Structure 1
Amino acid sequence: MPLDFTQNLVLENSRVRLRPLETADFEELKAIAFDPAIWQFTITRADDALSLAAYVTAAEQARQAGQRYPFVIIDRASGRLAGSTSYYTIDLDNQKLSIGYTWMGTDFQRTGLNRAAKHLLLGYAFDQLGCERVELETDSRNHKSQTAMRRMGATEEGTLRSHRVLQDGYRRDTVIFSILRPEWHELRRTTFAEYNV
C-alpha cells in the first residue's frame, strides 16, 4: 500500500499518540525545543523561535513534496507534545523507508516514549506499507542514540564516512541500523510486547 501524504495518519498505543506535524504546533513545541543539547547531533536545529519556525515549515513542505511524513509525538499520560519524528527516504518500490528526524524534549527522554513511538512507526511500515526493511541512522558521536537503537533490536550495519553536513558545517560520519520484516515479527513479540495489546 502506498503512503498517502495527503492523509492525516494517526497512530497510537497505550503510551503515545502520533499525528501529523502542523504549523499550529509551533507554540507548544517552543516549550520543549529550546534546549541546545537536543540538537547537538542533528542535521538541522530548532532551539530558538526562528529556527523552530523554519524546521516546522521545512517539514510541512517536505510532506507536501512527498519526501517526508513528519509526526508530533504526544505523551498520552500528560497530553503534552513531547517531540517529533518522521518517515523519510521512502522507497516503497523497493519496500523500504527510514525513520528519523526524531527529537524529544529533555523531560521525555529515557521514559520509554521513544520506544513506544518506534513501535507504532515500525508496525505501520511493515504491516500496512509492506516494507521489508526499515533503516535508522545517527551521528557516529551520538552514543546514546546508538545504544537506544541496539536496545530496540536494530542491527548495526556500518558507518558511512563524511556522510552528512550538520547545521554548524561539521561533516558527520553516519552509523546505519536496520530492522528487517522477519526480525520485526520477533521484536514485536519480545522487545515491543508491552504495546501489543
Structure 2
Amino acid sequence: MDCSRCITLENARVRLRPLEATDFEALKAIAFEPEVWRFMPTAMPRNSVELATYVAHALKERNSGKRYPFAIIDRETNQVVGSTSYMNIVPEEKRVEIGGTWLGKPFQRTGVNRAAKHLLLKYAFGELACDRVELKTDARNWQSREAMRRMGAVEEGTLRSHMFTQGGMRRDTVYFSILKPEWDELRLTVFREYDARG
C-alpha cells in the first residue's frame, strides 16, 4: 500500500479522505468527550495541544508507511465526525487492520461507522487485493464487539494482557476478522445498502 497516495472513498452515507493537519478545528468540536476515548489505547486529548499532537502523530505514521489515517465526513452534514485508519499493513501476506476508529458522540449509532467500514473493506479486498482484514478492540468494549459481530466479522479470540492502555493498565484484546470469501457475501447482505450505491 502506497501511503503517499491520496485515497478518497465515498458511498451514499460517508466520505473518507486522508486526514490533514487542517482537520484540527473540525476535530476540536467533537474530540473532548471522555466516552469517545474510554477504550482507546490513546488517552483522550484534554486540550488543543494534545489534540494537535494526536493529529501530528497520525500524519507522521502515514509518512513512515505505518498507518493510513482518514477523516470521516458525514455526507448528510458535510462535517468531519471522526477518524479511522488502515494499520498493521502487511502486503506480502495480503492483510491489513482497520483500527484507530473514533467518532464524535452525536454520530455514534447513526450508521456512520458501518458505512465507513464498508468503504474500507471494499477498498481493502478490491484495490489492495487483501485476503484478510483484521479488527480488534478492548475486551471490555462490548459496544464495539457487538458492532463488529453485526457487520459480519468473526470473533477469533482474546489475547490476554495483550497491550498497555490508558493509565498504564494492560488490557485484554479481542480479535475479529473478515476473509475475502466472507466479504463477497457480506457486501451483498450486511452492506447491501451502501454497496448498491457506492
Matches within 5 A, 1:30-109: 30-45=28-43, 46-109=45-108
Distance 1:182 1:70 in 2: 26
Q: Give the TM-score taking structure 1 as reference length.
A: 0.97
Aligned position for 1:112: 111
Question: What 5-or-longer segments of structure 1 have no aligned partner?
Answer: none
SS in 1 for 2:51: helix
Higher mean C-alpha displacement, 104-113 vs 163-172: 163-172
- The structural deviation recorded for 1:124 is 0.2
Deviations 1:35-75 (A, max 9, x none): 01111110113342122111101100000000000000000
Distance 1:161 1:55 in 2: 27
Distance 2:49 2:135 in 1: 28
Verify the 8 A CA contact 1:36 1:47 in the aligned structure 2. Answer: no
Cα RMSD, aligned residues only: 0.7
Higher mean C-alpha displacement, 173-182 vs 42-51: 42-51
Amino acid of the residue matched to residue 141 of structure 1?
R
Distance 1:48 1:171 in 2: 25
Matches within 5 A, 1:171-190: 171-190=170-189
- The structural deviation recorded for 1:98 is 0.1
Distance 1:121 1:127 in 2: 10
Percentage identity across paired residues of the two chains: 59
- Between Structure 1 and Structure 2, how many residues are aligned? 195
Distance 2:2 2:35 in 1: 34
For the pair 1:6 / 2:4, whether they are aligned, the reply is yes
Distance 1:105 1:94 in 2: 33
